[in-house]
Amino acid sequence: MVTYQQPQQQQIVPHHLPEASQGYQEENDLEIVLAKTHPKIAKEDDDVTKLLKEIEEVLLKQKKESLLYEIICSEPIHPSVPKKDIPYKFEIPKIEPFKGKEDPKEHLIKFKYSSYLIANDDSLMLCIFPMTLVGQAMDWYNNLPEYSIKSYSQLENLFLQYFRINIKDKTSITYLT
């Protein structure tokens, strides 16, 4: 009986790499050899890798912000309102969330002052305002008819109208006398 033996594969090793004579089994070994023998190439490769990671992070952040915008800026807001990206590194106004029991006028004033960077942008004001609502107030917002809001001033008016019972009366002493 004759048995056939496969010839052993000869490992091809580049001769110009000093440590390559030891052989390499994995891609990582080649990277180590390249890093030791050609540090400039390795540094450029690291720089490219870092740059690609930074680009990936920015794209991921934009995707998340875009998704956030779609989630927040959709239901009651009419499609005719232009969609704009939330400014990079924009922070939600740091005001006490409106629960539905506070004075709605005071909340609107605080919201406008804390949102001064976007105050002239109707579509962004529409988008950011719901982030300041919780509880009963958020329920009110979520129950607005779909596509019923066409401007921030309309949203303000509906907000004041719905929560008008909580508006503090500013009666002066002279009025009482």
Can you give the pLDDT at residue 20? 47
Q: Is residue 160 included in any domain, yes or no?
A: no
Mean pLDDT estimate for the chain? 75
Structure tokens at 116: 């001064």
Q: What pLDDT score was predicted for residue 169?
A: 79
- 172 lies in a domain? no
Q: Is residue 50 part of a domain?
A: yes
CA dist., res. 75 & res. 141, Å (int): 9
Classify residue 48: in a domain, yes or no.
yes
pTM above 0.95, yes or no: no
Is 156 part of any domain? no
In a domain, 107, yes or no: no
Confirm whether 146 is domain-assigned: no
Number of domains in the chain: 1
pLDDT, tens digit, for every residue of 36-66? 666 666 566 677 778 778 777 776 665 555 5
Structural domain containing residue 35:
18-72
Q: Is position 137 within any domain?
A: no
User: Contacts from 49-55 at CB under 8 Å and sequence distance 24+?
Assistant: none
Q: How far does the chain reach from its first CA to its final CA, in angstroms?
A: 125
Copy the structure tokens of residue 131: 């982030």
**Which residues of the chain are under the pLDDT cut of 70?**
1-45, 59-74, 117, 119, 171-177
